[in-house]
Structures are given as structure tokens and as C-alpha cells.
A and B are shown apart, each in its own frame.
Chain A
Amino acid sequence: MAFSGALQLTDLDDFLAPSQACILPVKQKNKVTDQAQGLNPDTDIHIDAQNNYYEVAISSKPSTAAPAPTLKPTDKTVGGTDSVGVLQVQQQGAQGKQLEKAEISLNDCLACSGCVTSTESMLITLQSHLEVQTYINAEDDNRTGILTISPQTLASLVTSYTETPSSSSSSSSSSCQGLTMTQLLRRIRTFFSSPQNGGWAGVWDTTFARHLSLREHVAEYKERRLVGKGKQALTPTSADDPGTPLKGGGLPMLASACPGWVCYAEKAHGDLLDFVSHTRSSQGVMGSLVKQWWAAERKKTPKDVYHVTVMPCYDKKLEASRSDFYSELYETRDVDCVLTTGELDLLLRERGFNPFQAVSGEDAHEVSPRDSPFPELISHSGTSSGSYLHTLIDALAREHHNDTRLVTRPVRGSEDHVEYILEDAATGEIIFKGAKCYGFRNLQNLVRKVGKETGVKAVGRGIGASKLSAAVAARRRAGKAKLAAGQDSAVSSSASSITEQAEERTLDYVEVMACPGGCVNGGGQMKPKSENAATAAKQAAGRDEEGYSRDWEMEGVEAPKTQIDEGMRWSTKSWVAKVEKVYWSGLPTPPQSPKADGQDQVVAEEEHKDRKISAVDPQIEIANKIGQQIIDTIVESSKKSLSTTNSAEIAYEARINFLRTRYRKVEGDVSGLTAKW
């Protein structure tokens, strides 16, 4: 690239560096003391053969700086660089000082765009299946191993194991019957419990933790409802009081189970953090359960337990490394290592696991208490991303004095952005307006909408403009409606059936997920298998059958209309649909309303009449009971350790510590936009 004849320094910056926002402040320790001791400030840094760094005074003369006079040329040629530092240290005694190594770990990750999104190599090396392999193979690691697996992971693995490249989408249901999520979980448990595979003390799924998380989620919603809409926290945290858990801001409450969304909110939308739910995700609660409750039950310290989770998503690794999930007292994390679904598959394959090897008791209805202290694979109807919204709607419908009606409306016809309005069946009064919002694009609109509704973001200054734009927008809408009219006559009527009241009502709750399709489509899930996957991959890499590098389009090969990436995208979509199907089919009770048929339903109404009288699922009842027992135990144990008399406060604090967390705005310095290069 040629430079301009009149090159000027401006803030133009066209050259990309991968991780320029990833800057850690350099801490300088003991500088002052060194100078106070009268040490010569002129020093060199030398490296020895072990890659240790030494700070070495380059001149014993206290006066002017003489650049490296003691380094004779022969030193370099004879001794090489290695010996220089050593020689200097020997000659000058104590003046050579070994320097501390700077270490960068996942804790320091700012989740800038630098490395996390472009290369995930850093994450993979720090929390990889290799680390788990090391644990399994280590003779002297006496920690008790616990492996907890998300239900989305199980669904993805079952799909991947049962789908053969030749099986078409229509036969998928039959092939799924070959393996259920419960069977797979129990087979993995048996596999890992054997001594040669690490002798893990527990292999559980995370649905019980999710159950606790969901209950706490509802409790937090009710606390926030008392605060009101758009209001900031009752007890705002200050910089000098970082230890106090937030008692909750107002509404809308935004789900926080998705670490991708949480990272993004902390980085780009700090002003919305008050609305992000403080309830721990199911992984977070699982961490509490394993390290705080289960370890104590077994008379172990948290450090004696090695807890590995398997999640559908890479960002869960970031979540696990948050400082809130680190116990200073026990020097341990709630979750020691997070694997993705794909990494678990790799681990299993490397150790020779056969998913079709049946194990005894794998079809038992109840899990034996010896195998798991918690109920297994609890079904929460709603979405495959955790059913946060549906659980809340259910709870609110139950608490309402009248029958209720649920109206759903896809925003822009998207399955990933749907509004849910809960109305009083008799009066039509709106009790609740929630939404599920998946995927980065929908998230953008959510952020704008919530920012506008709560007033924390000034999206625009003037309103005079709206009239001008209205006419243009209306034209487009009319055009679109005309197009759609041929396919679906309901479109035109849909607008009128949503009342103005519902339009005006601001959001109370949003189930936010960063991935389109939600957690079943997480970044760490198994990749779709397709018949021509191999050819497609080759072509995508620009290689022909023989492996020669080729650019198809350049050579005038007119690719058919179904292009490579288009084909891949389609297969991903249908693959996710299969995983979704497996996710629900593996569960004992069918979900209430998963729109698995993909129907572009514009407005759906659902009577909640039956819901109220319907008996609670016995599985849920058991989970509730065990959950309460665990919380009681936690509260009891914290009562013993604290001397405060106010027991209600202790109970609250203990529950909060066990089930909640908090978020911090990532300061603007690292945004990369303010940095000048």
C-alpha cells in the first residue's frame, strides 16, 4: 500500500491489531524503596536460561549513566546472552534482582473484542479438556471430582450421536429413540465413576440448580416490582462498598443466565446493569451447591472438590472466572473448569466412551440417591434456554386472583423475539408484559427499547421528526403487508388485535440470550452433521477434491444459487431444530408451548384457566422440598458462624450469597475507541 503524498496525522486508524483493547495496567511495586536504598537507578533486564528475568545494575559507578560499560563484547560472544545476566549477578552480588513474572489469566480478561471473539485459544488452553485429562491422569490429585452437565449439552450430544449423515430430517425422530438424554447422562456417569476414568464422585445434570435459580429469579422479580419501573437500586452500591450485594433495581428485569449478554452489557451498556438480574445462573447455583453445600455435607472443604461443568457455550468459562465466584477463604472457585459440549465429546472420545453401551438402571424412573443427591433432568416448560420467562409468567398467573390469559406476539415475525402479555381473563387488564429476545440483532433493539423506556439512555433529542418519518415508514409497512397478504391474511388484522394498552405497556421482564435460537444453538455445541459437510468444508476452505487451493468463483465456476455458506446456514438451522426436539423429547413431561412446528403464528392466545387448578408436577414438588432443605441448611450453618442476632437478616444474606451475584461496568478506557494509536 502506497502512502499518501501528504500523509497527515489524524485520528484515522485503518490498521487492525487483534487485541488492542486488551490492556492491563502495569503495577509498579517497590520502586520507591529501591531508590530510598540508594540503588543505582540505571539497570538492565537480563534473561537466564530458565527464562527468569533479572534486573541488573549496569554500572557500579554512582555518577552518570554509562550505557553498559561493564558488558565487554567478549561476554556476549563467548558466554552468549544466557550468561550475561548470570555473570553480572555473580560479579555484582546482590544487585541482580529476580523480577516477578507477570501472569495473565482469565480473570484479567476484559472481554474486549480482541481475543475472545476472534480467537478463543486463550480460553481453550486455560479451561480445556486437557486440564480435565490432567486431573484424571494425575496420581496425586486427591480432590473429589464432580462433573455437572447442562441439559442443552445432553440434547446436543444425543442429536450428534444419533444423527447419521444419511438420515434425513424426517427420520430424525425415530433415530432419537435410540438414546435419551437420561440414558446418556447415566452412561456418562457410569463411565466417569470408574477408577481408570478418574473415579468421579458425581456426574449430575444442572436442572436442579436451574430449579433453584428459577425460584430465586421469581423472588427477585417480586423484590424489583416493589421498587417500580425504571427506578435505580434501592441500595445503590458505591465504589468503596463493593461487598454489599445489591438488593435489586427496578423493572424491567433482564435475565442474566447468558454470560455472552452479561459480558456485552457490562462492556457496552453499563447504564442498563441495574436491570440485569442478580440471580446466579444455573451454573452459578451449581457451583454453590457443589462447593458450599455438598462439600460441607461430605465434611470436605471446598478446595477438596474439583468441580467441572459442561455448558453449551464458551462464555460460561468467563462466567466461572468472575471474581464473585472465587472464595478467598478457601482459595477456590465454585466451578474449577468449564468445558463446552464439544470439549466433553472430545474428552469422551479420547477416553474411549461408547454412547451406545447400555448401563444397568439407566431406564429407572427415579435416580438412585446414591448416584445423585438431586432429582434428575427436571423439566421446566417454556424455552430450551432455561424457561426463565415462562416460570415467571406461571408464578404471576398463579398469584393473580383471577383467571389469566396469555397473548404472544412475535416481533417482526421472529421466533427469537416474542412478546408475552399476561392479561386478566375477565377484565383484560395487563398484569405483565415480558419478552424473549435471542440473538445479537434482537438484543440491539432490546437495548434501545429498554434504554428509551427507562430513560437511562437518551436515544434522541427531538421528537418533531417523527411525523416526517411516519409517512415513509407507513409506506414501507403497507408494501410489506401487501406482499404478506397473499400468504397470511392474519397479518393485517394482527395489529388491531393487540390492544393499544399492550403497546403502551413497558416491559416488565426479558429473557435475553445472545445466541439466535437460544442455548441449544450455543457456540460450544456440537456442529451440524450434513451429508456433504466434508465437501462443503473443503470448498469453504477453497480447496478442491485433491486438496489443491482453488478459488471457485475466480475460475469462472458459476456456483449454483444455493451457495456454500447458504447451505451451511440452512443446515445449522435445521440442526438446531433437531437439538430442540431432542431437548424436549428427553423429558418426562411435555412442554407447555414450545413452537416446535415453526409456525409463524402472529398472535396466540392461551387460557391459563386450567393452570391454576392443575396439580404441581410431582417432580417439581420434590425439587422444591429438597431445595428448601438445602437453603435451610445453608442458613443454619451461617447462623452458627455469625454472631448477629437478627435472624431474618442472616437468612436473607445467606440466601443472597448462595444464589445471587453482581455486575460491574467495564470502564470506558478499554473500549479501544478512546485509545489513540
Chain B
Amino acid sequence: MPAIEFVTELPGHAGPAWAVSWNPCRPILASCSSDKTVRLYGYNVKQSTDSEGANDRFEFRFLQEIPTAHKRTIRSIAWSPNGKSLATGSFDSTVGIWEEVDEYEGVEGVERYQDDSVEKEWECITTLEGHESECKGVSWSSDGTLLASCSRDKSVWIWELQADGDFECISVMMEHTQDVKSIAWHPSEEILASASYDASIYLFADDPDSDWSPFQKLNPSLPAAPASISTEGSTSLSAATVESTPDFVVPPLQEPETVWSLAYSPCGRYLASGGDSGGIRIWERSGNDIDSRWIERTHVEAHRARACFALSWIAGSGPADGADEISVGRLVSVGGDGRICLWNVAKGEMQQDQTSQPIQMQLLTLREQAHTIYDINSVAVLQRNVSPGARLFATAGDDGGVKIWRISDM
């Protein structure tokens, strides 16, 4: 039975911490905050003799703080796929691109940070202006050539990396009617999803005959079903669910809710979205074309009546031991209720009409008050496989803290 174990806390931000992001190539974790700084942490694994890695120890240390020149809260950060650039999206409406001034180009970072000697300066190589108000999200496409940003000004922008290192705006999309909360790129194709306060999700793709444009608007519609609980963990988990049951019965949600968070499954066939009333929805792609329709498959209660602020899939999380469903993967969700939930997402039995296969979400484990009474704003699973027996993920909360957790028994 999987469990979420606390590894360490990385304090230091003077204001709420908004986002965490793992460098995909080097052992660095970045976090950002209302204090207008980005903090970088290095880590290494002290491997235990135990071959299953169950007793591996993780050591984190503070590397440096990028003061940034942002004038207001840094709301989101994202590492480029090659791990060399860091994008920051700020409430001052700008996006910053940060790179290391590095004379050891090509030297693997692992060694460098392990030998504890050099510390490179992170410099702002360019600023992307254009949003009229708070930038809420930044995201790199899978090959790192496109950078998307979204803002309270209701727009979604796509920038293309140029050969001279500068960026060129290739699209400004104004379809949303409200604040755009977050954006996410498909893990392998050039499909961008955006989530908004207008209660919808747009999916954008490049129209070869024209410009970037939305090919589908997703309107969440399924009512939320109670979470099904893993049989192994039934006692403790059902206690948690029972405890959370309110004294009065809240009727099923009828009004549209803000979509806060998005995450594509590692295989790219599913999209998870987190809503303001705490539910998680799974959308499935119906074909293999770039503009294939996405269909809502399930909606489960996850964070009581509080918003589900962030979602992160665990790459390579195979089917749960011996189960006969086909696994989609495991998903971590965090929200305004201070909970961290670990989910198993799997395909259910094919319906009789052979057209749709339901998606089942099973709550494997959860952690209450992970940042005490504070909201959890961000979660990021470390996708590099650094220890065979455990997966790490980081969370950032309104308490300004960044916490590292470990999922054991995967």
C-alpha cells in the first residue's frame, strides 16, 4: 500500500510559495514566491545497500536565490526541456527567461553540484512583455521551442524561440472570457490546453493554413462522484472521507466552476483538470489526429469544497500489482484544503455499446494538512528516476514553505 512520507522542508521564502519545478536534466529544484525571488535547491541521493532503494536517503541543500527584477509576485516557473532555461511568470505582467552564465557548457550538472565548488549566476536573458495584467502561468512545449503564457487579461500567448536566442510572438489567443488560470503543453505534440475562471478549457493547435487557434472548447459537465477508495487502505481512508462529510448535504454543483489546474498524462492520451469545487476530471482523446476531440470521462471529489490547485502525473507508474484493469497512471493532486491525494487512474470495463470505456479513479492515499492550515498551491513530481524504490514530489504552500515528499511502495 503506497504511502506519502515527509522527506524535508525547504524554508526561505518570505511570502507564499506559488510554484515548484524540477529541472528535467540536473538535480535542481526551483521554487517561486510572492517575495519576488526564485530559490534553487540541489539534491543528491545517498543510496542504501538495499537494492530496492527503500532506505535511500535524499539530501537537499539550498543553492542560491535569484532576486529577479520582477516587480510583483512570481506566480509560476517552468524549466525548459533541456534544463537550461527557466521561465518565470509574474503578476507584473511579464515573463522572464533565465539562463546560467556558464563557461562549462556541456559539463553534466550532476558532477558540478556534487563537487560543491562553483556557483553560477542566473541571468535574465530576455523579458517577454505583452500581457496587460497578471501573468498566471508559463509552460514550455515538449521540444522547448515554444513557450506559452497566460494571464488575467484573458489571453494566451505563444512565443517561439528564435535562432538568435530571442523570442518572437507567434500567437495571441483571446478566446477565454475570463482570467486564464493555467496552461499545459501536451507531452509530445504541439497542443496547448488552457484553463480559466470562465469555467472552460480550450485546446489550441497550429492550423497549417492559418494561425494558432482553438480546435476545441471543453465544457466540464459530469457531476462529481465520491472517490472510490483503495481496498488496501480502506480503513484509514474511509475514516478520512467520513470525517470530511459535512453536516448538511450540499446539492450537486450546477453552476460553472473555475478550472484551476491541468496536467496531461505522460502518454498524452489523457488530460486531468482540477476544479474550484475540489473535483478532478479526466478527459480522453478520441483519436490520434492533432485536433482529435477530447471527451470528459470522469469527475471525482478530491479536495472537499476547496479548489484543486495543482495536479502532477507520475511518469512510468505502471499498473498496480496484478490488477486486471489497464492502468493509465498515477496522479498527485493538491488543493486549498491542505490535502495531498495520490490517485490511481485506470480504464474500467468496456461498455456494452463498445464505444466508451469509463475511467476509474481510485484514491490510494492522502495526507491531510500537508502545509498545516495553509493552501497548497503547487505540486511537481520528480520524473527523473533517482531511486528505484521511491518517487519524490515537491509541494509549495501559502505558508511560504516548499516540502519534499516521497511515495514509497510504488
Contacts and interface: CB of A to CB of B under 8 A. Distances in A.
Contact of B91 (A11, A461, A551, A558): A11
Question: In this complex, which of A412, A445, A561 has the most chain B Cβ atoms within 10 angstroms of its Cβ?
Answer: A445
Q: Which of B163, B164, B373 counts the most chain A CB atoms within 10 A?
A: B163
A473 B162 contact: yes
B27 interface: no
Contacts of B213: 566, 569
B124 A6 contact: no
A8 B144 CA distance: 36
Nearest to A561: B291
Q: Chain B contact residues: over half helix, strand or loop, or mixed?
A: loop
Interface stretch (B109-117, B214-222, B229-237, B378-386): B214-222
Interface residues of A, number: 51
A13 interface: yes
Interface in A456-485: 459-470, 472-477
A615 interface: no
A553 B217 contact: yes
A616 interface: no
Given A464-B101, A475-B145, A554 B221 contact: yes
Interface stretch (B43-51, B60-68, B125-133, B342-350): B125-133
Contact of A16 (B71, B73, B105, B152): B152
A672 interface: yes
B81 to A, nearest CB: 9
Contacts of A563: 215-216
Contact of B124 (A460, A553, A673): A460
Contacts of B163: 469-470, 473-474, 477
Given A8-B398, A459-B127, A563-B215, A475 B143 contact: yes
B10 interface: no
Nearest to B337: A5
B124 A2 contact: no
Contact of B219 (A444, A464, A554): A554
Interface in A336-365: none
Interface residues of B, number: 73
B336 A2 contact: yes
B375 A4 contact: yes
The main secondary structure of chain A at its interface with chain B is loop
A11 B73 contact: yes
A471 B333 CA distance: 36
Interface in B181-226: 197, 210-211, 213-219, 221
A451 to B, nearest CB: 9
B16 interface: yes
Given A16-B152, A472-B143, A10 B15 contact: yes
B8 interface: no
Given A475-B143, A563-B216, A460 B166 contact: yes
Interface stretch (B168-176, B264-272, B316-324, B357-365): B168-176
A441 B72 CA distance: 25
A465 B179 contact: no
B22 interface: no
A445 B166 CA distance: 11
Nearest to B145: A476
A97 interface: no
Nearest to B165: A466
Contacts of B305: 2
B122 to A, nearest CB: 10
Contacts of B143: 472, 475-476
Given A14-B152, A462-B101, A468-B84, A441 B169 contact: yes
Q: Which 10 pairs show the lowest CB-CB distances between chains A and B?
A: A466-B165, A460-B126, A476-B145, A465-B125, A469-B165, A444-B169, A465-B99, A473-B163, A554-B221, A462-B123
5 contacts: A441-B169, A465-B85, A476-B145, A476-B160, A573-B210
